[in-house]
Amino acid sequence: MLLIPCPWCGPREDDEFTFGGEADFPRPAEPEALTDEQWADYLFMRDNRRGRHREQWCHTAGCRRWFIVERDTVTNEILGAGTYGGSP
Amino acid sequence: MSQPFRLDHGGRVDRDTPLQFTFDGRPIDAFRGDTVASALLANGVTLVGRSFKYHRPRGIVSAGAEDPNAFVQLGHGARTLPNRLATVTAATPGLKVRHVNAWPTLEYDVMSAFGLVAPFIPAGFYYKTLMWPRRLWPLYEHFLRHAAGLGHAPDAPDPDRYDHVHAHCDVLVVGAGPAGLAAARAAARAGARVILADEQAEAGGSLLSTHERVDGLPAPRWADATTTELAATRGVTVLPNTTAFGLYESNLVLLAERLITDQPDSAGSENGARVWRVLPKQIVLATGAHERPLLFANNDRPGVMLAGAISTYVNRYAVAPGSRAVLFTNNDAAYRTALDLTDAGVPVAAIADVRSDPAGDLSSEVRAQGIAVHAGAVVRHAQGGRRVAAVELCSLDGAPLGAVECDLLGVSGGFAPALHLHAQARGPSEWDPTLAAFVPRGANGIHPAGAVAGQLGLADALRQGTQAGSTAAAAAGCSNGSDLEVPRANESTQAFIQPYWLPPGGLARAKPQFVDLHEDVTLDDLRLSLREGFESIEHVKRYTTLGMGPDQGKLANPLATGVIAELLGRDPASVGTPRHRPAYSPVSLGAIAGRHIGPLADPVRVTPMQDWHEAAGARFENVGQWRRAWYYPQPGESMHEAVARECLAVRHRVGILDYSTLGKIEITGPDAGEFLDRVYTNAWKRLRPGRCRYGLMLGEDGMIFDDGVTARLDDQRYLMFTSTSNAAPVLASLEQWLQTEWPDLRVYLTSVSEHWSNIALAGPRSRDVLAAAGTDIPLDRRDFPFMTFRQGHVAGVQARVFRISFSGELSYEINVPADCARHVWEALVDAGRPFGITPYGTETMHVLRAEKGFIIVGQETDGSVTPDDVGLGRLLSRRKDFLGKRSLSRPDSVRPDRKQLVGLLTDDPNQILPEGGHVVDSPGPRRPLPMRGHVTSSYFSPVLGRSIALAMVTGGRAALGERLYVATLHDNRWLPARSCHPVFYDPEGARQHV
Ligand SMILES: [Zn+2]
């Protein structure tokens, strides 16, 4: 079980949340300008890091806000949480 | 019965409260305070089970949760529990106890005859032998299942109650032995909220089995007094009969609390159970240690027990587990057992001690009793069949030292900390050479204390427990500055151990030496595993099934570590132990399920018209969690007949459908149009208020994600309909894009699926019905044309009416507040009677839309289908970007051989193709046949008087009219058909525009 610190609601059990994969994969501003390889890279390729990992979580069964969690993928230790732009 | 092995005095059993239970139908006399195991031993019952693989006779080995043999079946009928340990089950009146894993009876087990044919099945046997020849596997499987049963399930629903408890506390103390009680007391005195859990019926642990004193009191009385103090302390919860079976990330601990009653006939004395999900701030781990067995030939004979368990049976239960004992040890602990036996009047014939010079107070005391101590000696063979009769001793280099008659052999190979919980959560541990065992190191709010931390002496355990409780309370923010008060006990020196793993060689192969008694894994199996290259302990485990039984290898794994290290000539620290996983002990499925069973297993969603549908005789189908009316058979009507009647009613007159389950999302804000432009493939900003448009939503991979109609209610307000099952995923996806990618857009999303019910009127007379029900909305086709929306009243209720159609007929979808929906539904049905209105369900809805070639997301599409594949390429805007657009020009999206939506018409108009059936060019002899596609929807169309089907076929659109064949699913036939345009009825779309 992970205790995930929602920036708006505080720490909650992980079954209230949805995992959204790695963070920091912004949608390209001009998709049509990309080559097939560049678009495929955005679409399919993720780093799957060992260790510190920034990832997206949504407090689905709570405030329904998406936010960013930094987690150690080896120990599952949660190192911090941040919001998208707005402050909690 | 006389309880011939019950001692005359002593023990904690209540001799004034006798009781009786049965073992395999035979009455067993016991006292309150007994476990099933102690009562069986008191009655001289030594054979309690047969082993898993070889069905060898097995007896009680331990007095706790580590026992590999004493698994029994409790209760009967609906109230029965398999895989319960006799050693931790309280004896209660009327309890029915049965052996497991022997057939037909424990005494005469047919399967042990197996042993005569193939004396020992080597490790890997299943992989190597039973998989070949493959066709015989079902036979082997039948045979093995019969042979290897481990109890049976209840034969009816369990009447007992199970529940889950969510709890928080400052300090959770696992284990109520000396360290755990001291820790709980210190934490409670510091003002912490404490939960103290122990798997036994009464707190005390090893304190209940010792003659030592604590704070001047006999140890059991100190345990009782401390438990009483704790139970009376505000904020402290003491949980007996409660096993902590799992420790997870964030230090979530799962406890299984067995609810014990004295009622006769209850399920093995358990009336239900509770699983506690505890999130403590700090954890004191006081789980003790398990004594390690020692290897010798026939070390599985009943009568071979752990030395410490013998002391427990003698001191705590006043039972002599035998009448003449030998002890075999590599440390001091067995000497304490020798003294306990002597005190109880049981003669000790000899002690074999691995160590060449067993010195110390205990050994002097033992010698003073006249007990023969053989230094530098080991037991190499236990003689006897269903019980030990004698043991053969030898020196460490194998020289015979003669045999000693006995019916009880106590062994002690040292102690291995019960670090299972700690290790489950990947807590660190290190090899302690003085204990020859892994000892956990505290980390992340977990404080090991007492024997689990390697402190085997009583005074040390009390001191460390007190310290751990105090430290944990302080770390949890509780401290009142009071002085630490450590309970006093006699200091003892830690017994030194001489590791002893491998017996001397030279034994006959037919004499097995069991490393894992439950799984029947022998020393030879470990040797074979290493010889064949499986050297990692995880590989050894998988190859031999070491530690895979319901006992989780509590005794076997610590022994195997040392044995493998010695066989490989490596340091035990580098060998490690197999990964520990929950559950520590078997937990009943009822406890895990809790109340999430039957109607509470999953929510059921119904619409406001549910009662009406039931009264009208509807049959229902589940769509996700929704119950939806499927069809409404009239008396004597088959489903086929009912659906045909409903279909024709809509095509010729008028039908009414409860479509409330559709997902509805209100999208508001100044940028709502821009937002829709980004998520839908077509253009939205210029859609005028009051109009509706069909939209297609893709994933970024270009594949169809959802479809539906969206209406522009006013300048800054849209209402989006989603498919029933996609309502939540679509909302979640829209929210994610808004929050993570486009936070600058001023758009707000509100799910209104439950707030608005949706009633669809469909058919040429639907306008007449709506008018007759009473509405202030002008219904003339010029005032209210197709694909528009009007707001007004219907049957006196505020309504949003959409002129959209999923049937291809003139149709109105009437949205009203859910509270009023039943009234409006009934008003429409009443008003429609003169027009022959017919309620129809989801089956008819599907037939009608298939006749029109309308896709259903999830039926025609499967996550690998683009808009062009289903002929909706015209909905793709060229002038703007939208989600998934870039993917539509990827090479794979423009492959010429992509599957495309076509219609299929069978040669035989009454032949209905199987949905999912494979489509091929010709059923020729070539195998495998190249697949052209698959049938996605297939129905009988009443209005066309023949069958129709939709299919996804490679290159299908360019070859309309081609001859194809569809495979039947079960009887190997090929059904001939021709492809056609996927719109079967009213291809011009004239009917919905009238
Ligand atoms: Zn939240």
- CA B286 to CA B452: how far, in whole Å? 6
Task: Check residue B76 and give its pLDDT.
Answer: 85
- CA B639 to CA B525: how far, in whole Å? 61
Confidence band, pLDDT 50/70/90 cuts, at residue B108: low
The CATH topology of domain A1-24+50-88 is Folate-binding fold (3.30.2270)
- CA B70 to CA B210: how far, in whole Å? 23
Whether B72 contacts B89, CB under 8 Å:
yes
Chains A–B, number of C-beta pairs less than 8 Å apart: 51
Task: Check residue B244 and give its pLDDT.
Answer: 97
Average pLDDT over residues B266-275: 70
- CA B780 to CA B599: how far, in whole Å? 48
User: B135 — phi, psi (to 5°)?
Assistant: -65, -20
pLDDT single digits (tens) B641-677: 999 999 999 999 999 999 999 999 999 999 999 999 9
- Alpha-helical (H) ranges within B506-555 are 523-531, 537-544
- What is the secondary structure of B440-452 as a DSSP string? EPPBTTEEE-GGG
- CA B413 to CA A74: how far, in whole Å? 35
Confidence band, pLDDT 50/70/90 cuts, at residue B757: very high
Rounded to whole angstroms, what are the CA distances from B424 to A79, B164, B247, B257? 22, 21, 6, 20
* The pair of three-digit structure tokens given for residue B570, joined into one six-digit string: 């490596």
Average pLDDT over residues B270-296: 94
Please count the other Cβ atoms lying within 10 Å of the Cβ belonging to residue B482: 11
Min Cα distance A37 → chain B (Å) is 9
- CA B168 to CA B146: how far, in whole Å? 45
Residue with tokens 């089950």: B89
- CA B447 to CA B466: how far, in whole Å? 11
pLDDT single digits (tens) B682-699: 999 889 999 999 999 999
Average pLDDT over residues B757-785: 97
CA B667 from chain centre, in angstroms, equals 40
Strands (E), B669-735: 692-698, 704-714, 717-722
Task: Check residue B648 and give its pLDDT.
Answer: 98
Please list every residue in chain B whose beta carbon sits closer than 8 Å to the beta carbon of residue A20: 736, 740
Using the predicted structure, report yes or no on whether residue B778 has a pLDDT greater than 70.
Answer: yes
Of the candidates A36, A57, A55, A62, the one whose C-alpha atom is nearest the C-alpha of residue B887 is: A36
Task: Check residue B146 and give its pLDDT.
Answer: 53
Using the predicted structure, report yes or no on whether residue A59 has a pLDDT greater than 90.
Answer: yes
Min Cα distance A73 → chain B (Å) is 12
Confidence band, pLDDT 50/70/90 cuts, at residue B211: very high
> Is B890's CB within 8 Å of A18's CB?
no
Distance B470 CA to ligand 1 centre (A): 34
- CA B327 to CA B110: how far, in whole Å? 33
Min Cα distance A9 → chain B (Å) is 17
- What is the secondary structure of B859-924 as a DSSP string? TT--SS--TGGGT-GGG--SSS--TTTGGGGSGGGG-TT-EEEEEEEESSTTPPPPTT-EEES---
The answer to which of A81-85, B58-62, B746-750, B884-888 has the lowest mean pLDDT is A81-85
pLDDT single digits (tens) B913-938: 999 999 999 887 777 888 999 999 99
Please list every residue in chain B whose beta carbon sits closer than 8 Å to the beta carbon of residue A43: 700-701, 887
Residue of B nearest to A34 (CA): B886
Using the predicted structure, report yes or no on whether residue A1 has a pLDDT greater than 90.
Answer: no
Using the predicted structure, report yes or no on whether residue B127 has a pLDDT greater than 60.
Answer: no
The answer to which of B101-110, B194-203, B477-486, B560-569 has the lowest mean pLDDT is B101-110
> Is A1's CB within 8 Å of B743's CB?
no
Chain A (28-87) residues lying within 8 Å, Cβ to Cβ, of chain B: 30-32, 34, 36, 39-40, 43, 56, 58, 60, 64-66, 75-76, 84-86
User: B451 — phi, psi (to 5°)?
Assistant: -60, -35
- CA B191 to CA B189: how far, in whole Å? 5
Please count the other Cβ atoms lying within 10 Å of the Cβ belonging to residue B726: 20
Average pLDDT over residues B307-332: 97
Using the predicted structure, report yes or no on whether residue B224 has a pLDDT greater than 90.
Answer: yes
Please list every residue in chain A whose beta carbon sits closer than 8 Å to the beta carbon of residue B248: 1
Distance between first and last Cα of chain A: 24
B604 touching A, CB under 8 A? no
Side chain identity, residue B439: V
- CA B256 to CA B276: how far, in whole Å? 6
Please list every residue in chain B whose beta carbon sits closer than 8 Å to the beta carbon of residue A85: 743
Average pLDDT over residues B177-195: 97
Please list every residue in chain B whose beta carbon sits closer than 8 Å to the beta carbon of residue A58: 732, 735-736
User: B620 — phi, psi (to 5°)?
Assistant: -115, 155
Using the predicted structure, report yes or no on whether residue B509 has a pLDDT greater than 70.
Answer: no
- CA A77 to CA A52: how far, in whole Å? 9
Please list every residue in chain A whose beta carbon sits closer than 8 Å to the beta carbon of residue B253: none
Chain B (702-761) residues lying within 8 Å, Cβ to Cβ, of chain A: 732, 735-736, 739-741, 743
User: B348 — phi, psi (to 5°)?
Assistant: -105, 115
Distance B477 CA to ligand 1 centre (A): 26
Using the predicted structure, report yes or no on whether residue B945 has a pLDDT greater than 80.
Answer: yes
Confidence band, pLDDT 50/70/90 cuts, at residue B117: very low
Residue of B nearest to A84 (CA): B740
Tell me which residue in B700, B735, B743 faces A85 most closely, judged by beta carbons: B743
Q: What is the DSSP letter of B500?
A: -
Q: Across all residues in chain B, what is the average pLDDT?
A: 92
Confidence band, pLDDT 50/70/90 cuts, at residue B354: very high
* The pair of three-digit structure tokens given for residue B716, joined into one six-digit string: 């800054």
* Domain boundaries of chain A, sorted by first residue: 1-24+50-88
- CA B50 to CA B863: how far, in whole Å? 53
pLDDT single digits (tens) B416-456: 999 999 999 888 899 999 999 999 998 889 999 999 999 99
Confidence band, pLDDT 50/70/90 cuts, at residue B50: confident
What percentage of chain A exceeds 90 in pLDDT? Answer: 82
Using the predicted structure, report yes or no on whether residue B359 has a pLDDT greater than 90.
Answer: no
- CA B555 to CA B518: how far, in whole Å? 10
Please count the other Cβ atoms lying within 10 Å of the Cβ belonging to residue B232: 9
pLDDT single digits (tens) B810-864: 999 999 999 999 999 999 999 999 999 999 999 999 999 999 999 999 999 999 9
Residue of B nearest to A44 (CA): B701
Using the predicted structure, report yes or no on whether residue B126 has a pLDDT greater than 70.
Answer: no
Please list every residue in chain B whose beta carbon sits closer than 8 Å to the beta carbon of residue A34: 886
Min Cα distance B426 → chain A (Å) is 8
Confidence band, pLDDT 50/70/90 cuts, at residue B116: very low
Of the candidates B439, B433, B452, B558, the one whose C-alpha atom is nearest the C-alpha of residue B496 is: B433
